[in-house]
Structure 1
Amino acid sequence: MLRSVRWLGPIVVDALLVVLFCIIGRRSHDEAILAGLLRTAWPFVTGLAVGWIASYLLYRRRRETEPFNGMRLRPTGLVIWSSTLVVGMALRVAGGQGTAISFVIVAASVLALFLLGWRAAIRALD
């Protein structure tokens, strides 16, 4: 049971928060939420998946003695956040979507708040 909490719980929380980020963005621009949500979300969800894989591979490379924990702020959360942002923006460019500097700044800030914030809160409560 504890293993699934370390894996499944954080993955679900991260995925929901990335989709929420996309919903908020679409809503703030008065765009139809459901109609274009997949187009908006796929680059960031893909970046999130890449971040999770990279984080786990980094854990394996470091050969830590404790089990992998997706709730860790560092390095797990930092790898996941940066990958979600960088891969997400690269895929937006590849898909012909906008990446204005103001959007990159907002995305970096909101994704940091979402993906790092809940991990920091958990850590502070421990």
Structure 2
Amino acid sequence: MRRVVGAAGLDVCCVMVFVVIGRANHDEGASLGGFVGTAWPFLVGLALGWGLTRAWRAPFGVVPVGVGVWAATVGVGMVLRAVSGQGTAFAFVVVATLFTGAVLLGWRVVARRLGIS
């Protein structure tokens, strides 16, 4: 159970880091409301990805779990951003896809290499 909670926590941290870096790079305020407004679509996507892939069964798996969680995080996140009137510029979609892929898959690859899975 601790491994599942730890893996979920790492995924949430990855999304939070993405949001913090993105907001800082665009000189957006450090308000809690702004942070939550940016993060929620991706966190919903992350949660949906965990549910669809049943990530709790193999949270350290890169394929299909990690890829599924990543795809849902970005895909659902972008749809929710669009529906809620937030930006989905092509460059943002590319950056979000690459960054979240690197971190959501990256920690899993490192964990596998270290034998933590």
Normalising to structure 2: TM-score of the pair? 0.92
Aligned to 2:18: 21
Cα deviation, residue 34, structure 1: 2.9
Which residue, 52, 63, 66 being the options, matches 1:77? Answer: 66
What does the per-residue CA deviation read over 1:22-57, in whole Å, with 9 as the maximum and x for residues that have no partner?
Answer: 01000000111234100000000000000000011x
The separation in 1 between residues aligned to 2:57 and 2:28, in whole angstroms, is: 39
Larger radius of gyration: 1
The separation in 2 between residues aligned to 1:87 and 1:74, in whole angstroms, is: 19
The separation in 1 between residues aligned to 2:62 and 2:80, in whole angstroms, is: 25
Normalising to structure 1: TM-score of the pair? 0.86
The separation in 2 between residues aligned to 1:33 and 1:71, in whole angstroms, is: 32
Aligned to 2:108: 119
Aligned to 2:89: 100
- 2:31 aligns to what SS in structure 1? helix
How big is the alpha-carbon RMSD for the aligned residues of Structure 1 and Structure 2? 1.4
The separation in 2 between residues aligned to 1:33 and 1:104, in whole angstroms, is: 22
Q: Which amino acid aligns with 2:53?
A: S
Which residue, 52, 55, 58 being the options, matches 1:54? Answer: 52
Runs (4+) off by over 6 Å: none
Cα deviation, residue 105, structure 1: 0.3
What does the per-residue CA deviation read over 1:40-84, in whole Å, with 9 as the maximum and x for residues that have no partner?
Answer: 00000000000000011xx7xxxxxxx812011111100000000
The separation in 2 between residues aligned to 1:44 and 1:68, in whole angstroms, is: 22
Q: Percentage identity across aligned positions?
A: 40
Unmatched 5+ stretches in structure 2: none
Aligned to 2:28: 31
The alignment covers a number of residue pairs equal to 114
Moved more, 116-125 or 45-54: 116-125
The separation in 1 between residues aligned to 2:30 and 2:74, in whole angstroms, is: 21
